[in-house]
Structure 1
Amino acid sequence: MIASLSIENFALIEKLDINFSEGFSVITGETGAGKSILLGALGLLMGKRADLSSLKNNEEKCVVEAAFHIKKYNIKSLFLDNDVDYEDETILRREILPSGKSRAFINDTPVNLNVLQEISLHLIDIHSQHQNQELSEENFQIEILDVLANNQELISEYQSNLERFNAAKSKLKQLISQKNSASKEQDYNSFLLEELITANLIENEQEELETELEKLSNVETIRENIEKSIVIAEEEQIGVIQNLKEIKSSIAKIASLSNEYAVLLERISSTIIELDDIISELKSELEKVNNDPERLAFINQKLQLIYTLQKKHQVNSVEELIAIKNELESQFISSEDIDNQIQKLEIEVNNLKESTDKIAQNIHKNRVEVVPSLEQQLIKILEPLGMPNARFKFEINHTENYFETGKDEIQLLFSANKGTNFGLLKKIASGGELSRIMLAVKSILAQTKKLPTIIFDEIDTGISGDVANKMADIMNQMSDDLQLFAITHLPQIASKGKNHYKVFKYIKNENTFTEIKKLNENERINEIAEMISGKDLTESAINHAKALLN
């Protein structure tokens, strides 16, 4: 239950602190007094969107905080699942900063809005007027049946199974498509692969072949220049080596005179040794230089094949061609294995379908079983609310389609009068009838869901007279097990509350403010009398108010 509520700098509220009691409480006030502001503030605690326009003073932050007593509601696991510290007195806080940034806290632990929404939904249920229309929505009708049928665990299991079922079907479809595409391309890919295998490509082969081609294409030029170089170096009288030796002999005669000359002598000696080595390598290379027309033809042919393959596959290197060959080989391996994968997936899909269908069937069975009891409870509650001939019929059709919560399609049929045919609730129920039916539904759900707090925002729309008294009695009964607030304009309902709070506006220093206060006995008499007769209180209205309160 909500133990206290604190609001700062929100809409017309400058600062508000109020405590609440358990049981049945009513909230009254003139139209426009600010009852919706209270609901808006609580909406922030339930994770609703924050808006800078909600700030009364744009230069200060807005803070909404509420303390909840939750010890007896067995929801500790909900906090643990969301990694939030549990306290028997749990505090939810929401802040809107002047920058527009919003922050949320649970027991002083920062949380994101999803966590705030998840936890607050188990603490408070705010029912506004427009939510009466939810009765006409299939999702809400299914939710009613599932709460009463205790289907939550089954639905969670169904959703998990359905997710895996859909994933397996998607994978199977992808594999079948892949197989079909592979079959169409298989012949062509087989030709490409065979061509690449026959080419017998080797890494770095292209560069080596191109170098060898250059040599074989210029044998005479290479031979001529190597021979010439050897002759120049080794000629007996004027060869380079002979000249270097003479230079060496001359420098040797002066080497002892200076360290610089000694160094030069050493360098000349090294040069002669290096040149001798070069000449040896030139002679060795000369022996290798031979005309080889067959090898030349082979290299030309191989390089032409490489260039043709590169052009066909739009690449620039042998390495890329080898990568394409490997990819084609893996595709063929994959296509050989794809039939096995498809067969395994077909079995998995069938098994998942069977298990998902079985769970959906159990969900359907549980829904069907609770329908007679629900219909009878609704009739029983609505009879004293001026609907003695109300009748309901839940038509549950188990389909082949997979929905989020099962395979059922539901229609809620309704008849308000004897002798009239059933029709869709959304088409034939009036606003007042929807209000009463919704109260009956909430009354039934409250016994099962065990919510700590419910707030009815003018659920009495379209109601008057003795029916309003009966509605108040039902809300009083509901409040035996939970904290219930009713925002109302009807004196019959306002008089039945254990506690009475009034929302009102006042003007101070040319500014308008909203406030809420708990009424004492005399204030309550006057408030209810004003609801009966208006601002000009009459003795009759006051006596009527006292009679209602007694």
Structure 2
Amino acid sequence: MITSLAIKNYALIEDIRVDFNEGLTIITGETGAGKSILLGALALVLGKRADIGSVKDASKKCVIEGCFSIKNYGLQNVFDENDLDYDPLTIIRREILPGGKSRAFVNDTPVALTQLQALAPHLVDVHSQHETLEVVSENFQMEVIDALAGNAELLKSYQAHFADFKTISEKLSAVKLQKENALKELDYNAFLYNELQQANLKKLDQQELEETFETLNNAEAIQEALSNANKLLDEDQIGSLQTAKEARLVLGRIKEFSKTFDDFWQRLNSAIIEIEDISTEMANSAEKIEADPERLFQVNEQLQTLYKLQQKHSVSTVLELIEIEAQLEEKVNTTLGLDEQIENLEKEKRRLRETTLKIASELHSKRTEAIPVLKKKLEDTLFPLGLPNAQFQFELSASEDFKTNGTDTLQLLFTANKGLAFGPLKKVASGGEMSRIMLAIKAVLAEYKKLPTIVFDEIDTGVSGEIANKMAAILHQMSKTMQLLSITHLPQIAAKGDHHIKVYKEDSNDLTSTHLKILGEEERIVEIAQMLGGKNVSEAAIANAKELLN
């Protein structure tokens, strides 16, 4: 329930604060006194977009703050879902800065307007004669039926399964699209993969192949070079090896004379041994190297294949090609494995569809049972409200298409008079009838569901006499289980209030401003008497007012 509303620098209001209590609070005042301003300020707290034109003094900040006691509302989940800080005593503040920028706060935490708008319907329901879209909404009508049917838990179960069904359906669509796109590339990827696989890359050593190719391709030149080098090292008389051996013999005669000479001999001896090894290996290599055109052709083929693959994939090493081969293998296997994934998802989708349809069928059955009860309650409530011949027809039909509240489609038909054909509510009901229908629906809902604070803005327009008394009785009955605020011009309704607030204007220093006043018992008598007979209150009006209040 709303416990207080503070308004500063808004429209004709300079700075006021009003406290609200449980039960039925009546708000009265002359036309133009500012009752709509009060509703406008409340609408800003509930997330309506701000307008700098509604600020009283554009050079100053406008602040509107509402305080709500919500400990019995069970709104913790709503706060969590909208990333809001929960507090049993929640304070919502709207600010309009001089530049026109608007800010919103919930429990002193800045919030986006969308967060505030998501929270608002759980706090206050404002209804006027001219705002009848809700009552003709199929979702709202279904909500009323579900309240009577006690479908709250069943709806939660349905919505959870429906959410899972949508998730699986979206995932299935995504995988099918993935497969569709992958199939376009499958042949090409498979070709590239097979091409790399046939190259047997893991067994290739590019450096070794290149060396083998160069060796085979230059076999004769290599043999000649090795032979010539060997001759230069080891040919009799003139070979370097022979010369070195002679030098070693000479040094052998003096090596005993000093460590230096011995070191010369040792170093030369090591060199001779190394040269002999080189000479022997060159001779062996020369013998091994043979022209092998067939082997040369094979090696050249392998290298050319390798070079082409590296050029095609813009890489320079065998290792990089091996990595690309692994990636292509994964792509090909993934594409080929999508069929199994699709099959599993389709199986899960069918299972969820069957389960969700079953729950939707239970909802349909319970709604079908609740409709006659709702029909009778609405018609019984409207009878004393001046619609004795009001009748409803609820056409509920099931389909296999999932919606947020089941698979049912509902059409509410109405007639206010005998002998006239039923028609869609929004087409055949007048504004006054629509207001009374909304009141009847809210009255029935109050028996089955914890409703937020309801504000009725002149819902009694066009009503008088005994019907006004009946309407007042309904409002009073509803207020026993919830907080009601009613802006009214009818003394019969005003007299039923547990609390009474008067809205009035005052002129001061050439400025007009709106004020609020909580009326005491004597002040209520005068206010209701004026509502009965005008400003000049008569003895009869006072007596009538007292009678109404009693």
TM-score when normalising by structure 2: 0.79
- Equivalent residues of 1:193, 1:325 under 8 A apart: yes
> How many Å apart are 1:387 and its aligned residue?
0.2
| Cα offsets for 1:169-204 (capped at 9, x unmatched) | 344445556667777876666555443322112388
Structure 2 counterpart of 1:369, one-letter code: E
Equivalent residue for 1:368?
368
> How many Å apart are 1:528 and its aligned residue?
4.1
What runs of 5+ residues in structure 2 fail to find an aligned partner?
A: 252-259
Structure 2 counterpart of 1:361, one-letter code: S
| Cα offsets for 1:276-335 (capped at 9, x unmatched) | 989977996896574554443223211222344456667665445434433443355445
> How many Å apart are 1:154 and its aligned residue?
1.5
Structure 2 counterpart of 1:137, one-letter code: S
After the TM superposition, which residues 481-500 of structure 1 pair with which residues of structure 2 at under 5 Å, given as runs? Answer: 481-500=481-500
Tell me the SS of whatever aligns to 2:466.
Answer: helix
Higher alpha-carbon deviation: 296-305 or 357-366: 296-305
| Cα offsets for 1:411-430 (capped at 9, x unmatched) | 00111111112111111000
- Equivalent residues of 2:129, 2:431 under 8 A apart: no
Tell me the SS of whatever aligns to 1:409.
Answer: strand
C-alpha distance in structure 2 between counterparts of 1:24 and 1:152, whole Å? 28
Higher alpha-carbon deviation: 49-58 or 32-41: 49-58
Tell me the SS of whatever aligns to 2:398.
Answer: strand
- Equivalent residues of 2:63, 2:94 under 8 A apart: yes
C-alpha distance in structure 2 between counterparts of 1:282 and 1:533, whole Å? 137
Equivalent residue for 2:433?
433
C-alpha distance in structure 1 between counterparts of 2:507 and 2:211, whole Å? 98
After the TM superposition, which residues 437-456 of structure 1 pair with which residues of structure 2 at under 5 Å, given as runs? Answer: 437-451=437-451, 453-456=453-456
C-alpha distance in structure 2 between counterparts of 1:541 and 1:316, whole Å? 108
After the TM superposition, which residues 149-228 of structure 1 pair with which residues of structure 2 at under 5 Å, given as runs? Answer: 149-175=149-175, 191-202=191-202, 205-206=205-206, 209-210=209-210, 213-214=213-214, 216-217=216-217
Equivalent residue for 1:457?
457
Equivalent residue for 1:390?
390
Tell me the SS of whatever aligns to 1:396.
Answer: strand
C-alpha distance in structure 2 between counterparts of 1:147 and 1:45, whole Å? 28
Equivalent residue for 1:254?
none
- Equivalent residues of 1:435, 1:462 under 8 A apart: no
Tell me the SS of whatever aligns to 1:131.
Answer: coil
Tell me the SS of whatever aligns to 2:347.
Answer: helix
Are the structure 2 counterparts of residues 277 and 140 from structure 1 closer, same or farther at C-alpha, using a change threshold of 3 Å? Answer: farther
Are the structure 2 counterparts of residues 280 and 405 from structure 1 closer, same or farther at C-alpha, using a change threshold of 3 Å? Answer: farther
C-alpha distance in structure 2 between counterparts of 1:135 and 1:506, whole Å? 38
- Equivalent residues of 1:133, 1:434 under 8 A apart: no
| Cα offsets for 1:71-126 (capped at 9, x unmatched) | 6x3637558967988766x14232427384634233x6777767756665444322
After the TM superposition, which residues 82-93 of structure 1 pair with which residues of structure 2 at under 5 Å, given as runs? Answer: 90-93=89-92
Higher alpha-carbon deviation: 372-381 or 185-194: 185-194
Tell me the SS of whatever aligns to 2:135.
Answer: helix
C-alpha distance in structure 2 between counterparts of 1:539 and 1:486, whole Å? 26
Structure 1 counterpart of 2:385, one-letter code: L
- Equivalent residues of 1:79, 1:86 under 8 A apart: no
User: How many residues are matched?
Assistant: 532
Equivalent residue for 1:104?
105
After the TM superposition, which residues 20-99 of structure 1 pair with which residues of structure 2 at under 5 Å, given as runs? Answer: 20-49=20-49, 55-56=55-56, 61-70=61-70, 73=72, 75=74, 78=77, 90-96=89-95, 98=97
C-alpha distance in structure 1 between counterparts of 2:103 and 2:366, whole Å? 42
| Cα offsets for 1:14-33 (capped at 9, x unmatched) | 32222223222111234443
- Equivalent residues of 1:9, 1:57 under 8 A apart: yes
C-alpha distance in structure 2 between counterparts of 1:316 and 1:437, whole Å? 81
Tell me the SS of whatever aligns to 2:513.
Answer: strand
C-alpha distance in structure 2 between counterparts of 1:109 and 1:383, whole Å? 48
Equivalent residue for 1:6?
6
C-alpha distance in structure 1 between counterparts of 2:63 and 2:203, whole Å? 71
C-alpha distance in structure 2 between counterparts of 1:447 and 1:479, whole Å? 11
C-alpha distance in structure 1 between counterparts of 2:345 and 2:292, whole Å? 60
- Equivalent residues of 2:84, 2:106 under 8 A apart: no
Equivalent residue for 1:253?
none
Equivalent residue for 2:476?
476
Structure 2 counterpart of 1:366, one-letter code: K
| Cα offsets for 1:328-368 (capped at 9, x unmatched) | 43355445544543443333222111110111011111111
After the TM superposition, which residues 231-270 of structure 1 pair with which residues of structure 2 at under 5 Å, given as runs? Answer: none
> How many Å apart are 1:443 and its aligned residue?
0.7
C-alpha distance in structure 2 between counterparts of 1:142 and 1:414, whole Å? 16
Are the structure 2 counterparts of residues 301 and 483 from structure 1 closer, same or farther at C-alpha, using a change threshold of 3 Å? Answer: same
Equivalent residue for 1:537?
536
> How many Å apart are 1:525 and its aligned residue?
4.6
- Equivalent residues of 1:61, 1:95 under 8 A apart: no
Equivalent residue for 1:127?
127
Tell me the SS of whatever aligns to 2:419.
Answer: coil
Higher alpha-carbon deviation: 331-340 or 495-504: 331-340
C-alpha distance in structure 1 between counterparts of 2:281 and 2:50, whole Å? 88
Are the structure 2 counterparts of residues 22 and 315 from structure 1 closer, same or farther at C-alpha, using a change threshold of 3 Å? Answer: same
C-alpha distance in structure 1 between counterparts of 2:483 and 2:26, whole Å? 11
Are the structure 2 counterparts of residues 282 and 134 from structure 1 closer, same or farther at C-alpha, using a change threshold of 3 Å? Answer: farther
> How many Å apart are 1:507 and its aligned residue?
4.2
> How many Å apart are 1:397 and its aligned residue?
0.5
C-alpha distance in structure 2 between counterparts of 1:513 and 1:412, whole Å? 45
Are the structure 2 counterparts of residues 225 and 472 from structure 1 closer, same or farther at C-alpha, using a change threshold of 3 Å? Answer: farther
- Equivalent residues of 1:65, 1:91 under 8 A apart: no
C-alpha distance in structure 2 between counterparts of 1:478 and 1:524, whole Å? 22
Structure 1 counterpart of 2:329, one-letter code: E
Higher alpha-carbon deviation: 6-15 or 59-68: 59-68
- Equivalent residues of 2:2, 2:68 under 8 A apart: yes
> How many Å apart are 1:143 and its aligned residue?
1.2
> How many Å apart are 1:487 and its aligned residue?
1.2
- Equivalent residues of 1:62, 1:96 under 8 A apart: yes
Tell me the SS of whatever aligns to 1:4.
Answer: strand
Structure 2 counterpart of 1:379, one-letter code: E
Structure 2 counterpart of 1:394, one-letter code: F
- Equivalent residues of 2:357, 2:400 under 8 A apart: no
Equivalent residue for 2:142?
142
Are the structure 2 counterparts of residues 309 and 519 from structure 1 closer, same or farther at C-alpha, using a change threshold of 3 Å? Answer: same
Higher alpha-carbon deviation: 488-497 or 202-211: 202-211
TM-score when normalising by structure 1: 0.79
Are the structure 2 counterparts of residues 347 and 69 from structure 1 closer, same or farther at C-alpha, using a change threshold of 3 Å? Answer: closer
> How many Å apart are 1:230 and its aligned residue?
9.0
Equivalent residue for 1:252?
none
> How many Å apart are 1:373 and its aligned residue?
0.8
Higher alpha-carbon deviation: 120-129 or 366-375: 120-129
- Equivalent residues of 1:70, 1:452 under 8 A apart: no
Higher alpha-carbon deviation: 172-181 or 26-35: 172-181
Structure 2 counterpart of 1:151, one-letter code: N
What runs of 5+ residues in structure 1 fail to find an aligned partner?
A: 250-261
Equivalent residue for 2:254?
none
Structure 2 counterpart of 1:161, one-letter code: H
Are the structure 2 counterparts of residues 206 and 41 from structure 1 closer, same or farther at C-alpha, using a change threshold of 3 Å? Answer: farther
- Equivalent residues of 2:186, 2:335 under 8 A apart: no
| Cα offsets for 1:150-178 (capped at 9, x unmatched) | 22222221122112223323444455566
C-alpha distance in structure 1 between counterparts of 2:158 and 2:517, whole Å? 48
